Amino acid sequence: MAQPSQKGISLANLAAKAISSRGHERFPSLKGEPSLWEQLSGVQGPTLSPRGINTIIVFPGSFNAPHKGHRDLLEHVMRNAGEDLNVRAAIIAPTNDERLARKMKNDPQAPLLSKAQRVLLLRMSGMGEGHCWACSGSQSDLGDLIAALKAEFQEQDIRVQWVMLAGPENFGENGVPKPLFWACPHVIASNVSRPCEAATDGSLHLKDVWGFAEWNRVEFDEARLFKQVKTKAQMRGVRADSSEMQAVVEAAVTNMSRLRQTRPHRTPINKGTGFIRFVFAQDLSNGRPDAPSSSRIRELLKKITAGDRSDEVVGELGSMSLCTDTLVSYIKTYQVNPELRKIEELAREKATKQLEVEW
């Protein structure tokens, strides 16, 4: 069994071991990738607790382009998903280039960032505060890695559950995204940045989601929660008998009382084992009126491409995008590089043909 440090068992080491023991050739697009968990944070990367449950979030999306709303959503959920989940790490899974080209095929003027560019922007942003890994590998290799990690966790007797983070625009009365596509039985969502149609501004009320039971408070063992929160706080140097410790415990209990959770109705096909958890914004607002969006960023990039570099355009772009200078440099490079234009045109053409085959 892996020997934990005082702070837990290194997730990067477990990932590297899972890949090595199963053969690097099975993960061609992930060569050396898991070590980035530690390299990018500058300190020890995320660790797993050898006792109790650990949660790893998978955050899929287009990220064309990544923006501060993505960062706010992920970090808010990682901090406030509930001590019972014990969220330890997150994997960001940007969609591949061909799928993105298919999505954008009706807007040929829209910037189409490559997966490598989107991953670099996500990594440069520092999203997840050292506990997040933006995966540049293929979806197939990532799926194989998750399967290998599950086997490794079982072998090491480490309890881990996988939860998919869903954007609020994909979450509402008509249903939710399919987490099993990402090998996750559970879903978590929040309206911290963009509004969610299931939420109501200024309250903890959520509208019913088709196919799911009523929303309820999250049930938890208070004594176990106290012990878990105190242990983690003491590892950060908080004294057990201090007023700071009391405030930490009270904040954790208050946060748990604000969470809402539901499960799918049980049917012969769906056994109803997965949960959906909703993490409200701290001020109970249902999204922000100035919430960043990738579509708005693309519109601003179109203006910059057309020569409009006014303070208004550049300022709005900077207020929403991650690593704005790097993002703009991608667009400038694309403008003067015919090879990049050719690659994008081929990707769009291939996507169009694939769509015609599917229809």
pLDDT at 3 (0 to 100):
36
For the four alpha carbons of 248, 251, 253 and 255, in that order, the dihedral sign comes to negative
| Sheet containing 276-279: order of strands | 132-134, 87-94, 53-61, 159-166, 186-190, 276-279, 260-262, 216-217
Specify the pLDDT at position 241: 85
Contacts of residue 351, Cβ cutoff 8 Å, sequence gap at least 6: 98, 99, 101, 102, 105
pTM over 0.75: yes
Record the tokens describing residue 120, joined without a space.
């670099």
Ordered by start, the domain boundaries in the chain are: 9-279, 294-358
pLDDT tens, per residue, the chain with 359 residues: 343 344 688 888 888 888 888 877 778 887 766 665 655 444 567 889 888 899 999 999 999 999 999 999 999 999 999 999 999 999 999 998 888 888 887 887 788 888 889 998 998 888 887 788 999 888 888 899 899 999 999 999 999 999 999 988 877 666 777 888 888 999 999 999 988 888 888 889 998 888 889 999 999 888 888 888 888 888 788 888 888 988 989 999 999 999 999 998 866 555 556 899 999 998 888 888 888 999 999 999 989 888 888 999 999 999 999 999 999 888 776 654 455 455 556 655 655 554 443 33
Tell me if the bond preceding 101 is cis, omega within 30° of 0. no
CB-based contact 289:266 (threshold 8 Å): no
E strand or H helix that includes residue 188: strand 186-190
Q: Which helix (H) or strand (E) holds 190?
A: strand 186-190
Which DSSP string do the residues of 135-158 spell out, in sequence order?
A: --S-HHHHHHHHHHHHHHHHHHT-
pLDDT value of residue 311: 92
Predicted local distance difference test score (pLDDT) of residue 336: 43
Query: What is d(CA 96, CA 107) in angstroms, rounded to the nearest whole number?
Result: 18
pLDDT of residue 233: 85
CA nearest to 74, candidates 86, 84, 60: 60
Q: How far is CA 4 from CA 1, 16, 21, 154, 232, in A?
A: 9, 16, 19, 15, 15
Cα–Cα distance measured from residue 273 to residue 322, given in angstroms and rounded to the nearest whole number: 37
